[in-house]
Amino acid sequence: MASPVPLKEKRLLDVRISELPSWVLMRDFTPMGIAGAFRRGYDRYYNKYVNVRKGSVAGLSMVLAAYVVFSYCLSYKELKHERLRKYH
């Protein structure tokens, strides 16, 4: 499946599943590359939800909700012991 655009520069949603491993391996995993990826993600979110004329609370609340979910996942190991029933 030769595509007109070279594989390295495609975005994730345009990559076919068969090409996925090679796409993942081709990404930039140097510290600068990872920092660049974080930077790009932050910029995308910021420019879409926060850096607008009439922003809403959604820009902030989504970040807080993601933090809540993430911290719940981290502390699931301790929370498992507070279950009400043993078998589900």
Partner 1 sequence: MLSRVVLSAAATEAPALKNAALLGPGALQTARIFHTGQPSLAPVPPLPEYGGKVRFGLIPEEFFQFLYPKTGVTGPYMLGTGLILYFLSKEIYVVTAEMFSSIATIGLLIYGIKKYGPSVAEFADKLNEDKLAKLEEAKQASIKSIQDAIDMEKAQQALVQKRHYLFDVQRNNIAMSLEVTYRERLHRVYREVKNRLDYHISVQNVARRKEQEHMISWVEKSVVQSISAQQERETIAKCIQDLQLLAKKAQAQPVM
Contact 37, 24 (CB under 8 A): no
Beta-carbon count within 10 A of 42 CB: 10
Place of tokens 């820009």: 59
* Alpha carbon distance 26, 15 (integer Å): 12
55 near partner 1, rule: CB under 8 A? yes
* Beta carbon nearer to partner 1, 18 or 83: 83
* Beta carbon nearer to partner 1, 13 or 17: 13
Q: How far is the CB of 10 from partner 1 (least distance, A)?
A: 7
Which chain residues interact with partner 1 by CB under 8 A? 5, 9-11, 13-14, 28, 33, 36, 40, 43-44, 47-59, 61-62, 65, 72, 76, 79-80, 82-85, 88
